[in-house]
Structure formats: C-alpha cells, structure tokens
Chains A and B, each alone.
Chain A
C-alpha cells in the first residue's frame, strides 16, 4: 500500500524584500497510515512551513505533495479548503477555540462547512467530546475550561470529521507536564487505536520520545529521520509523575 503522505522534493521559497528565504529545500518524506511522528528542529528550521504545506494552508514552490493519492499541492484555494475540512485535523499550540462559544459549538464548526444537518452535527460533536473525555463539559465555553480541557476540545474538533491525518503544532507548548502527558496520551491512543496519522511539532525531547518516529529539520533541510523502536507510553509517564508529586507532597 502507498504511504498516506508523500512529499517528493518539496521546496518552499519566501520573498522577503529583495531576499529569497528558502524555508524548505527539496524535502522528501513518506508517512504511512497510523504513524505517530514527531517533527523537531530549532525555530526557523522549516518545520512550521512543513506543517503549513502538509495542512494545505500553503502550497509548495516546487515538488509535489500527495495525500491519500491526491496531488493536493496543485489544487485551488477552495479545493484545499475542502481537503482541510475532510482529511486533516488541526491542533494548535494556542488551542484556537472560538471564545464565548460552547465546546459543543466549537466542535461542530467543521461540520457546518460540510453542510451537515444540525441534529447530526450535534450527535457527532457529542461523540467526539466523549471520545476526549469531556462528555460532561459540552456547554462550557473555553474561558470556563482548563488549558488541558481546552486542548482536548480542540482535539475533539479535529477528530469530529474523522480525518485520516491530524497535525499538531506544539500541542503541549502551553501546558504543564502532567497535562502535556495527558494530551499526548490521547494522541497516542488516536494513532494506535484509530489508525490516525499524527504529526506533532515539538521542542521537547520527552514528548518526541513518546512517538514512533522522529524527523529533524535544520535550515530547511530534513537532516534526520529516525525510527523509535520502543516509544514511551505517555499514560505511564503521567502516572509516574502523579506518583512522584504525591511523594513530594
């Protein structure tokens, strides 16, 4: 079977004044279905650009990107919006939930752009929230939820369309260690149990240690692609941390 994501010699140049910035240089990368991949690198290494291209928010300057056999890199803005809606779930560092809007409505939002009926939207959103363990928080607004809960609402929003790919841009950047492991455990579970391909951009080595594979970027080049034969279990790490904190107390 072909890999789900195929990047073939993808480059991205930005023009900043007279200078040309090479954000990505001839990156080739295959990711299979159900893989949990950490994307690491210093800031400016090109990992955000990679995520933007993978997420169909941006187009490569050269090279091709195909997702599930579709050459999405060459599609129009509206077609890419449709691809984002149906095939990709986004999780951001800053959660990016709509303020003063209930968890349920936030999660329903991607389905609105798919023209799904209100009742069906509600049903699916409730199911996605239950999946991330927030069945009892559906009517809370982001301000009434903790950071970890907000990130879980965001994950539910990403999941509600049943996408094959989930892109998480530093999903634990704004969270404490325990909550970070909690969110990570959820992502691990999605990849293992539901076969969703998850790419996580991260700075933190202990987060990367929980993934199946780690790709490293430097100056726009993909410099290292290494498999992790024995990824750590985030849930176990979280319990250790709890036990440790318990001792300290």
Chain B
C-alpha cells in the first residue's frame, strides 16, 4: 500500500513535468469514456421511455393496419375494397367478445393556423373512444359529443405542444384554428403525455373522424388508416387477436391460410420490436464508442513508448540505485493508469454535463446511471493497465549498463 502510494506520487510528479503531453494523451480516453457513458445513458433512456409507454398505453392495446395485397379475382365480398373502415371497427366491437373498446384513426401532417401563429401539426381524425383507448385525458374543456361526430362538426381537441406553437400562453378553449380553408373550434385540451425520443405525442389536434374525412383530407367512403382496440384484459390479448383475424377475414373475403390485406399487431409486439431496434442502435453506438476508447488506449501506449525511450537514462539511474524490474514496471504502469484514470474522470464529467444539456435542450429521456459511471471507471483503469503494460515491460527489461550509457 505504501509502495503504491509512493509510486502514485512519483508518477504524478513525472506527469506534471510533462503537463501538456499528459493532458493531450488523456484526451483520447476522455472522449472514449464520455462516448460510452452518453451512449449508455441514451440506450437506457430509450428503453425506459418504451417501458413507460407500455405503462401509459396499457399492454392490451391492439393495432389493425391495412396492407394492400395483389389478389386475383374479386376484392372484398362486402364491397369494402380498399382500406379498413368505420364498419370494420363497428363489426369488431359488436362481434369480438374479448375486446373492450374499438376506435378508428387517421392522421395527416398539415399546416394549422390560429390568430396567434401557424405551424405544421399532426391532424388526427378519430372518434370519442380514441382518448380512452390511447389513455389521453382531457385537461380543460371537453371531448366530442356523439352528435358532433354525426354532423361532422368542425371542432377539435388540442395537445400541449400544439397549444404552445399556436396560442402561446393564451387559453385556446373556445378559440378557432384553421386547417386548409375550414375553421375548427377548440373545445378541449389534452393533458401532456410527455416526450418520447422519436415522437411528440402532444404535438397534435384531434377532430371527429367524419370531419377529418370531409374537411382535412378527402377520403373515399368511410375508410380509416388504422383501427385500434383494447382487449378486456392483458391475458385476453391473444384471444382478441384471433377473434379480430377471424372476423376481418370473413368480412373482407380471405380464406384461412390466405394472406389477408390487414395486419394485427399488439402493443407488446411493438414494444418488443422497438426495444430490439433500440438495443441494436445502442450496440452499434457502443461499438463506435469502444473503438474511440481503443484508439485512445493506443495513443496512451504510443506516448508511454516515447516516454520510455526518452527516459532511458533515468531508468538506468533508477536501476543503478536499486530499483528492481518490478519497481520500474510499476512506475510506468502507474503513469499510464493515472493518465487513463484522469481521462476517465473528465470523461464522466463531460458526459454528465452533456447528458444534462441534451435532456434540457433536446428533451431526450436519458438515464445517467451509477452503473455506467462504475463501468467507465473500471474501463479506464483496465485500458491504462492493458495499454501501459507493454511499454512498462520494455522499460523494466532494459539493461542498466546500456540504459546509463544512453544519451
């Protein structure tokens, strides 16, 4: 312990004698460690926001998409050629016993104008059940009424981000927004759902699906882009999926085993694939970070080799006055470990600051975990030991007579 302490003291004084070089050498490690910590925080954050979404949406959510297939012969026995429709949704609600609620959904990104401003915003067409299915809550005002849906009333409910863009601090309830040439009256606001890394769920206005089809995006008949449903309980999701499949196959004229023109996806499947994507992304980024750490380590090794050559005479002197090989090895490895430990420390600090600002400025969910800090610390020590070993060994194996003669 005492030997280690005096080795550290000796290494510190050697490193401070070549301050600029020590700092530049540790820069490589600094960047590598910071990259590792930031990437880990991003990955953990993304995964956390996915699992938060599961909680906020409920794992019993089911999505049904339309997927055009080239099929010879007649399309759809009941004249439902093309996408899914309100009637599909109604049929599901009526016939699928495992489903609690069914809603329809269409959206388009459109220019929305208010007295205060204008912005490109997600304009959603849906019915009243949408709010419940997607766990949106009305903060102020109200949702649509059945009669507003039937008469295709020009009303809308607005999300928090859209409020900020269009109204600033003004209360939007009772005011109007214009989409295309039609004004819509704001009747309610949504409680914020918070940010997710790739989508802002609050940057939207929601109108009744009928109004959307006739005023926002002209749509044939009663077609919708998406049907969403919730199973009665999470356990009954598989049963619900089977029922949906059977009902829609029958309605749309697809035999068992035939490839249908719709896809049923559960929330759980989405989460899984999203998590898998985040996992792959995180691994990729971690790989890049690891490469930069490796390059930093090679830089340390390079500088240590130069240092050993430059200090050959010093090594000779130390050996002459009684330093054992292990002492010399220890001395140079302590120096390389101190360089990487210093770089690692600054790297963690840099990462902490970057993560703080990325969260604040970009609104990303990132998790700065103690695990990442511990891993970074251990990694920087290991890098110092691994890349310092060979130069230190070269120093320790010098012949004292030759070393003393070195100019």
- Chain A positions near chain B (C-beta within 8 angstroms): 52, 55, 57-58, 77-78, 81-82, 84-86, 90, 92, 96-98, 100-101, 105, 109-110, 112-115, 117-118, 157, 161
Contact = CB atoms under 8 A, between A and B. Distances in A.
A113 B323 contact: yes
B324 A100 contact: no
Interface of B: 2-3, 6, 10, 13, 17, 313-314, 316-327, 400-401, 404
A101 B9 CA distance: 13
Given A57-B401, A78-B325, A78-B326, A84 B320 contact: yes
A82 B3 CA distance: 16
Which 4 pairs between the two chains have the least Cβ-Cβ distance? A85-B322, A110-B321, A113-B322, A81-B324
A105 B313 CA distance: 17
Contacts of A55: 320
A82 B326 CA distance: 12
Q: Which secondary structure characterizes the binding site on chain B?
A: helix
29 contacts: A57-B319, A57-B320, A57-B400, A57-B404, A58-B401, A77-B324, A78-B324, A78-B325, A78-B326, A81-B322, A81-B323, A81-B325, A82-B322, A82-B324, A84-B322, A85-B321, A86-B322, A90-B320, A96-B313, A96-B317, A96-B404, A105-B13, A109-B321, A110-B321, A113-B321, A113-B322, A118-B6, A157-B321, A161-B322
Contacts of B326: 78
B321 A77 contact: no
Contacts, number: 60
Contacts of B400: 57
Contacts of A82: 322, 324
Given A55-B320, A84-B320, A98 B327 contact: no
Contacts of A52: 401
A98 B3 CA distance: 20
B396 to A, nearest CB: 10
Nearest to B5: A118
Contact of B319 (A81, A92, A118, A157): A81
**Which of B316, B326, B401 has most chain A Cβ within 10 Å?**
B401
A135 to B, nearest CB: 22
Given A86-B322, A90-B320, 12 more contacts: A78-B326, A81-B324, A82-B322, A82-B324, A96-B313, A96-B320, A98-B314, A100-B17, A113-B318, A113-B323, A115-B3, A161-B322
